[in-house]
Amino acid sequence: MNIILGKKEYELKGVTINQYLEVQKLNKNKQSISNAEYIELLTGIDKKLIRDATVQQIGFVAKALNSYYNNSTTNSPVRPLINYKNKMYGLSRPSTMTWGQWSDLEVLTSQKELDLKHIASVLYLPCEKFNVETNEYTTITYDHTESLGRSVDFGDFLVKDIISSLLFFLKYGRLLINKQAQYSENKKKTMEESLHQIIEQEKKNSKD
């Protein structure tokens, strides 16, 4: 999204976790801020530069940013590789995630208020090797303590990337649970059939 303030054009790449949480906090506390403050919050543009814009411009941009914020959690394509602060991060693959990583993700997503920064650090791990063109990569081994420490620096991660990746994992998790449930049901059915066969065989043996 591009906006124009004064005579300058700015490109916005997305709402960050910190920006999202700040607006959430304002809404929760029913705090109101001026259009200029709202623009500063969601763009990071210096207040001095915002003051050079016309009142009409500020009103128009603030309205546009409101839609921009509301759409920040809209599902978007999952990005397997992300360059964050000049370091490559790769999205964990469900098939190779450790039990500890799945458990941490399960606990985090069950909380009433999601810790988006911690979730980001669980889903995306630093790459050891990567190829941007082919999206092939390997990441470091997941470690709970390391992930928790790294999450502190994930405030500038884009909300849309976390939401889309999280939705993907939750969908995969449901499929995994359903598959496990189906497996358990089939196993139960097989055991019942086997037990029935054993009982019938015992009845036959007793008659003989």
Distance between CA atoms of residues 205 and 139, nearest Å: 60
Torsion sign (Cα): 75, 78, 84, 89: positive
Distance between CA atoms of residues 97 and 31, nearest Å: 41
Distance between CA atoms of residues 30 and 33, nearest Å: 10
| Torsion of Cα atoms, 5 then 8 then 9 then 10, to 10° | -80
Distance between CA atoms of residues 55 and 61, nearest Å: 10
pLDDT category at 149 given cuts 50, 70, 90 is: very high
Specify the length of the chain in residues.
208
- The 10 Å Cβ neighbour count of residue 72 is 20
What's the pLDDT tens digit per position in 100-147? 998 898 899 888 888 999 999 999 999 999 998 888 999 999 999 999
What's the pLDDT tens digit per position in 30-46? 888 899 999 999 998 88
